Amino acid sequence: MFELSVRDDFGAAHRIIGYPGKCNNLHGHNWVVEAVVCGSKLNELGMLIDFKKLKGALKEIIGELDHHYLNELEPFSTANPSAENIAAYLYHKLSQHENIKGKCHVKFVKVWETEKSAVSYCEEA
């Protein structure tokens, strides 16, 4: 089994509606996202998936969040854009991306909201 990981980041604003403290207020983060994929079948180049394709998929997905007010976006219209919900959203989007589907399994997506706090989301293979 091989495990590959890539990282990228995006900047956006959010608020945690109902939070009993300052995170209820509009504020921003530079979220750092790590995507870890795994699989055992290598292609003719000896790669599970080209890092370029993996990074491209992640960049495309986080590009839709970058410089937005997350609470106004459809995925977070009914669920607070907490680090947990952002990680789960990115996990599902990445798993469905054409660059990934059928080539490897997304093991987990990890989202750092600050340098000190991070959330990972995973599902069974």
Ligand X SMILES: Nc1nc2c(c(=O)[nH]1)N=C([C@H](O)[C@H](O)COP(=O)(O)OP(=O)(O)OP(=O)(O)O)CN2
Residues annotated catalytic, as ranges: 23, 67, 113
Please indicate if the annotation marks 29 as binding a ligand: yes
Q: Which residues bind ligand X (CB under 6 A)?
A: 16, 23, 27, 82-84, 113-114, 117
CB of residue 11 vs ligand X: minimum separation in angstroms?
13
The nearer residue to ligand X, 40 or 77, going by C-beta atoms, is: 77
CB of residue 77 vs ligand X: minimum separation in angstroms?
17
The nearer residue to ligand X, 76 or 106, going by C-beta atoms, is: 76
The DSSP code sequence of 20-81 is SSGGGS-EEEEEEEEEEEEES---TTS-SS-HHHHHHHHHHHHHTTTTSBGGGSGGGSSS--
Q: What is the token pair recorded at 43?
A: 């292609």
